[in-house]
Amino acid sequence: MTQDYIKRLEESREELIQTLRESVQINSVGGEAVTEPDGTVLPFGRGVEAAFQHMLGVGRAMGFETFDAHHYGGHIEWKVPGAVETFGIAAHLDVVPEGTGWTHGPFDAEIEDGRMYGRGTADDKGPLVAALYAVKAIKDAGLTPNKNIRLILGLDEETGMAGIDEYFAEMGMPDLGFTPDAAFPMINGEKGIMVFELAQKLNRRTGKETLSLRKLNGGTAYNAVPGTAKAVLVASDPFYYSNIKDRAAAYASETGYKLSAKRSGSSLCIEATGKAAHGAYPQNGLNAVSILMGFLGTLHFDAEDVNDFIAFYNDHIGFEYHGESIGCGLEDEPSGKLIFNVGVAEINDDLATVTVNIRYPVTCTGEDVYNGINAVLADTDIGLVKARDAGPIYMDLSDPFAASLLASYVEETGDTETKPIVMGGGTYAKKFRRMLAFGAMFPGDEDRMHQADEYISLDRLMQTARIYAHAIYKNCCE
């Protein structure tokens, strides 16, 4: 029977590839809500909606039932008479903006040297289509599952996941399942993800000052390492500018960091350049805010509260990735150390803030993090403003469901060396019960998700589909 559904899957290779091409050719970057002439509201824009309706149409053509939760999300479902449980596969059709630097059209779905190029090929349209055709192959092989099988189509995974809550309000959650939106062999845990601000009110400046920090800006998103940061300084005597420029050059030479100082009218602009990276992996980047704060800490501003805030940043945050000096250096055996990232910083006349993104270990809680930080803040004028806290998930590898997913990967690849991991990133698995991220990036393969020339190998695409077919069979047919 196993060979039957794998044979059916292989026979659908060209159809699978064509479905993916059609989907990739739809620009489904999330946009503002749009109201159609008939009054229909498309919460995430026409591009996302077009990709959604296309995939629902593919599902209906396969003979599956479909559902649209008021354009916030939906599903393609193999409804099994008498089945009590539902096996869910949660994937998403929205993609990140195409950006620049492509050598292939980001929405052309070009195929070259066994690869399909385009935004969404790897994240997450390719894995989604692989999962859909895996379900179809089992159906075409004449098997009857013991669970309903539901491919859930998310439409705003890249921009907040609010749509899935609207979907749940209509349909509820499946009983278990996976999301094909990470890596093989399996992600058996995801750290808790929290976002908060450290904020300090500043005294409004009056009169003529010797040296003032008028503003500082760095970063654009909490979950990214800032690649650039800028500060604007104003001095009562232009002589100071020459001295600060010399000190900036010396600082850059001593540290190896990129730092420049240039006159801009009556001000001096200090710019730091680091290396952008995902906030879950700050060690892969270099935080430009930390570079800039490090240099500003060598100067003395007339406003002591500004000096205090900069000193606190340098003493308790700096270039640390794990929150040791700010009281939250937590770690555990399953998931390792807490990850600490400053994603955004801003200082103006009234307020100094940094927006922090933390990924904390699976055996810890958000309160563990907050309690540690608040103890360090106790003797300062800095306050902590909570924004969000998505708790961790973890499934031991002895769990039968986790074991079935891992066995499906090993059965197809023969790879027994690569072990499942707990990651700092977040997927739809956090939104569901008994769901794990499962594929579709293979160990050692180049990862171009969210980058120019994103692609998926067509052979890997089919291998992914076979792995998913094994997993669905094990959980729904045995």
Using DSSP bridges, classify how beta strands 73-78 and 148-154 pair: parallel, antiparallel or unpaired: antiparallel
97: preceding bond cis by omega (within 30 degrees): no
407: preceding bond cis by omega (within 30 degrees): no
Structure tokens belonging to residue 118: 């385009």
Q: Are 295 and 251 in contact (CB under 8 A)?
A: yes
Using DSSP bridges, classify how beta strands 182-183 and 440-441 pair: parallel, antiparallel or unpaired: parallel
Q: Which of 94, 140, 158, 271 is catalytic?
A: 94
Helices then strands, counting H and E runs in the chain, come out as: 11, 28
- Give just the sign of the alpha carbon dihedral 347, 351, 352, 356: negative
Structure tokens belonging to residue 94: 């929205």
Nearest to 154 by CA among 36, 79, 59, 69: 69
Q: Which of 157, 190, 271, 454 is catalytic?
A: 157
Q: Is 94 a catalytic residue?
A: yes
- Which residues are identified as catalytic? 94, 157
